[in-house]
Amino acid sequence: MANQDFWRDRTVLVAGATGFLGGWVVRKLVDHGAKVIAIVRTQRPQTQFFLKGMQRHTQVEYGDICDTAFIERIFAANPGISVFFHCAYGADVNRVLKEPLECFHSAATSTWTILDLCRRKYPSCIHIISSTDKAYGKQALPFREDSPLNPLHPYEVAKASQDLAAQSYGKVYGLPTAITRCGNYFGGYDFNFTRLIPGVMKDLADGRQPELRSNGRFTRDFLYMEDAVEVQLMLAERVHEDPSLYGEAFNFSHGLEIEVIDIVRRMAELTGTPIEPVVNDSVRAEIPHMRLASEKAEQRLGWTPRFSFDEGLKRTVDWYSQHLRKNLAAAVSYVSTGVTSSVVALQDALVLVV
C-alpha cells in the first residue's frame, strides 16, 4: 500500500490525467494530500478526472505532452515537482493503426524529451513510466523482465521505445526512473468501449451479443485498476529510497492466461445475462497469447496484488452495471422530454449522459 505520509504536500506532475490510468492516479494522489499538476490535452467530460471533479482539486495545465516548450514552462513555473507519472496514451488498437505517428510522439518522443529536460535541469525528479506487457511482442511465455522486447504492432513499438528510453536515462545518467509493465488494466471509469471489458458491459446492458475481434481463443493477463494505481505510487516511493532501482522495469499482473471468450462468459454470468459472444476473427497484428511473471516485483519490492482477478472482475462488473443503469435512466428521461425519440439517440445518450 502507498504511504500517505510520503505524498502529503508533495508536488506531483501527471501526464494523461483524463485517461483511464491517469484518472485513478490523480484521484489517489489527491486523496493522499499531494499537490497535483494535471496535464490535460483536451476537455473530456466523460472521464473520471472531470466526473469526480478533480479539476477543482488540482492545478490543470492544458496542452500537449509532446510540446517541449509547454513541458519546460510547467517545470520552470513549479520547481518543486518531485515526481512525474507518465500515464499518457492508452491502447486503442484501431486508432493506433490509423495514426501510428501520433502514438509514437505521445508515448516515446514525449518520454525522451521530458527525461532529457530533467537530466539537464531537474535530476532529482522521480519518473514512473507506464510501459506495457505489449512491449514484449510475440514470444515464449511467461514474459519476464529479462526477456527481449520484441514489438511489431505500432503501439508495441512506441511503448517499447518509451520503455528503453527510461531504462537508458535511469542506468546511464542515474536519473531516478522506473518502468511498469502491467497486464491489461480493468476496473471502473474505463470509458473506452473499444476495449474488451467496457465494450462487453455496454453490449450486455444493451441486450446485444458482444462481438470479439479475435477468434476468442486469444489469451490475456490482467491487473485490476485499484492494484495498478497502488503499483504506481509504491514504485515511486521505492525509487526514492533505493538508487539500485533506477532504470529498472517491473512486471505487475495477476499472472493468469485467460481466454477472451472465457472472460466474456464470466461477465455474462455475473450480470445474469446468458448471451454468447459473436466471433469475428478479424484482428491484425495482435499478440495471440500473453502472460507476465511478476516474481521480480514480489522479490525486490515485496509486491502482491491486493485483489484476485475474480474479485476485481466482480467489482468491475458491479461498477458498470450501476453506472449503465444510472445512464439508462437519465437517457430515458432525456428522450421523454420530447427532444428525440429515436433508438439511436437513446443509445448515444446511454454512453454520453452521466
Q: Domain coordinates of the chain in residue numbers?
A: 4-190+220-256+290-306
Residues contacting 277, CB < 8 A, separation 6+: 200, 209, 210, 211, 212, 216, 261, 264, 265
Q: What does the pLDDT read at residue 91?
A: 65
Lookup: cell for 36: 497535483
DSSP designation for 181: E
Distance CA 62, CA 312 (A): 33
Q: In 117-225, at which residue ranges do the beta strands (DSSP E only) sit?
A: 126-130, 177-182, 184-186, 211-212, 219-220, 222-224
Distance CA 289, CA 312 (A): 21
* Cross-strand pairs, 127: 84, 177
CATH architecture, domain 4-190+220-256+290-306: 3-Layer(aba) Sandwich (3.40)
Residue type, 331: A
* Mean pLDDT in order along the chain per 10 residues (354 residues): 94 97 98 98 92 97 94 96 92 81 92 96 98 95 97 94 98 98 96 91 89 86 98 98 98 95 93 86 78 97 97 97 71 43 37 36
Angle of CA points 317, 322, 326, to nearest 5°: 145
Q: What does the pLDDT read at residue 47?
A: 95
Q: Which residues participate in catalysis according to the annotation?
A: 155
Task: Give the residue among 312, 175, 332 at the shortest CA–CA distance from 253.
Answer: 312
